[in-house]
DNA sequence: TGTACATCAGTGAACGCGCGTTCACTGATGTAC
DNA sequence: TGTACATCAGTGAACGCGCGTTCACTGATGTAC
């Protein structure tokens, strides 16, 4: 306590004197966002009050206004942060999946799911926020989340163009496939967040099977069904 | 106005003197539930107040207590009603799909989706309530909804046992397939509720394709992958 | 059918409480010289 | 380095408001005779 925290040791609750006014302001801002995310783990954003957030963060209600216009602005920041998490995950997943000249094999599926699970553990609160507000009571949040997931699916659709058979498909069919794969992963995340730790293995195993069944259908797919 | 409403003419807002005290009580109860569902179309249950509901229903706040213990009990009733809608849909869908000696064909898929769409139009508010609270902020509601959807998927898994190839699968694989099909339909419902009327055709067409791709994979499915 | 009493769905006033937001403030940090 | 002043993150009191819940009530409906 009498010295600075040892170099290289990052402790969540490391007590160290903030170096400057702006740094200390940033700390308060972070603790407000953190407090909101904590409360959102079992509440809808809709029902969160400004005073609850400041109480959880350990500052006075008025301090809130030094950082945000109101709860709506804080919500927007949470969305942006959560999308940051999502995008970094997508980047990793695309790298790991390594779509190329091969069909979408078991390995690609397993590696992708591993990336999702890793990010889920690192950004649980962000992912829960997205899952909860995706169809929640706040229109602006729903729209923002929808747009972001759409974007993700469209990126995957483009990636899929290099996969052998899928490369011959129409763009619409590719979007259908990528949308189904993305939705299957999103659903897994939502279920994992809602289930206890003991449900984890069953859910991931089922999801892996689902992804395999979907890709199994690829070689026999016909865009328009038989007469 | 001077006479009773004509026999056989059912008008939503038909003004007729309630025949009895209990009948008039029931009318108020219905209007409280209706008011809640109306407000829930763009709000989370979490954030709904008792006074808002009574205001919307056009009665005094105190009247609420003649019908429900509090908001939580009203929520439970909404869940039960919504599940009533869901179960009647499932019954229709199972009858229409007519799973039997044939593979799951385009017709079965189309008929099933038609049933879902019909029920969606008749019970929009109930379905929206389920979609919103499925991963919403109220634990009890999440659990109830999860259990009900699980049940639905398990029923479908049992039905699938009569389908040629699927009949040879392990029970676990059949549950995987039914879970994926159910989730695909639930996702369609959620998207339809969130999109404008002009999104409807695109969403249903994509869903139909997704279901066809899934069933396309069935003949080539191997429970454990190669290698 | 008429009368006298019981029931009870819905009312309106009142309560204490947490809410969002304002305001003038305090005192540590930052800056100019 | 030391001093005098400016900045500004966070405070605490205060406001008016909508909340859930209580209570004694009213008056239409129901029932007993």
- Radius of gyration, alpha carbons of chain B: 21
Residue B16 confidence (pLDDT): 56
A172 band by pLDDT with thresholds 50, 70 and 90: very high
Which of A132, A193, A210 shows the shortest C-beta gap to B180?
A: A210
The predicted-structure confidence for B78-132, as pLDDT tens digits, reads as follows 999 999 999 999 999 999 999 988 989 999 999 999 999 999 999 999 999 999 9
CA B182 – CA B211 distance, rounded (Å): 10
List protein-proximal bases of chain D (any atom < 7 A from a CB).
8-14, 18-24, 29-30
List protein-proximal bases of chain C (any atom < 7 A from a CB).
8-14, 18-24, 29-30
- The arithmetic mean of pLDDT across residues A82-103, rounded, is 92
- CA nearest to A177 within chain B: B210
Chain CA centroid to CA A93, Å? 12
Q: Is the pLDDT of residue A100 over 90?
A: no
Residue A142 confidence (pLDDT): 95
Retrieve residue B227's tokens. 């290698």
CB contact under 8 A, A131 and B134: no
A17 band by pLDDT with thresholds 50, 70 and 90: low
What b/e sequence results for B22-53 when a residue is b if at least 16 CB atoms lie within 10 Å of its CB, and e otherwise?
eeeeeebbebbbebbbebbeebbbbbbebebb
* CA angle (A45 as vertex; A43, A46 as ends), nearest 5: 105
Which residues of chain A (45-64) touch nucleic strand D at CB < 7 A? Answer: 59-63
Q: Is the pLDDT of residue B181 over 60?
A: yes
Region of A68 on the Ramachandran plot (φ > 0 left; ψ -120 to 50 alpha; else beta) = beta
Q: Is the pLDDT of residue A207 over 90?
A: yes
Strand D contacted by B71 CB (< 7 A): yes
Between A225 and B147, whose confidence is greater? B147
State the nearest Cα–Cα gap between B223 and chain A, in angstroms.
8
CA B100 – CA B164 distance, rounded (Å): 8
Q: Is the pLDDT of residue A124 over 80?
A: yes
CA A132 – CA A142 distance, rounded (Å): 10
CB contact under 8 A, A225 and B146: no
Q: From the candidates B44, B204, B224, B227, which should be mutated to test the interface with A, based on the most A CB atoms within 10 A? A: B44
pTM of the entire predicted model? 0.90
Q: Is the pLDDT of residue A86 over 80?
A: yes
Please give the protein residue whose CA is closest to the C1' of the nucleotide D12.
A60
Strand D contacted by A213 CB (< 7 A): no
């Amino acid at each position: 306590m009498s010295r600075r925290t040892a170099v290289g040791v990052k402790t969540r609750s490391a007590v160290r004197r903030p170096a400057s006014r702006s740094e200390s302001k940033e700390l308060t801002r972070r603790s407000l966002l953190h407090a909101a995310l904590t409360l959102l783990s079992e509440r809808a954003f809709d029902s969160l009050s400004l005073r609850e957030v400041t109480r959880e963060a350990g500052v006075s209600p008025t301090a809130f206004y030094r950082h945000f216009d109101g709860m709506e602005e804080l919500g927007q920041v949470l969305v942006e942060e959560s999308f940051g998490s999502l995008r970094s995950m997508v980047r990793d997943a695309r790298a790991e999946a390594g779509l190329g000249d091969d069909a979408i094999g078991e390995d690609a599926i397993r590696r992708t799911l591993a990336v999702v699970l890793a990010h889920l553990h690192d950004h649980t609160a962000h992912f829960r926020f997205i899952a909860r507000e995706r169809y929640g009571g706040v229109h602006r949040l729903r729209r923002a989340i929808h747009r972001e997931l759409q974007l993700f699916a469209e990126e995957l659709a483009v990636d899929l163009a290099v996969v052998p058979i899928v490369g011959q498909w129409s763009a619409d069919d590719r979007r259908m496939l990528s949308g189904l794969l993305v939705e299957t992963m999103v659903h897994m995340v939502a279920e994992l967040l809602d289930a206890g730790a003991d449900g984890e293995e069953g859910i991931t195993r089922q999801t892996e099977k689902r992804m395999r069944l979907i890709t199994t259908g690829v070689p026999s797919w016909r865009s328009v069904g038989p007469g």
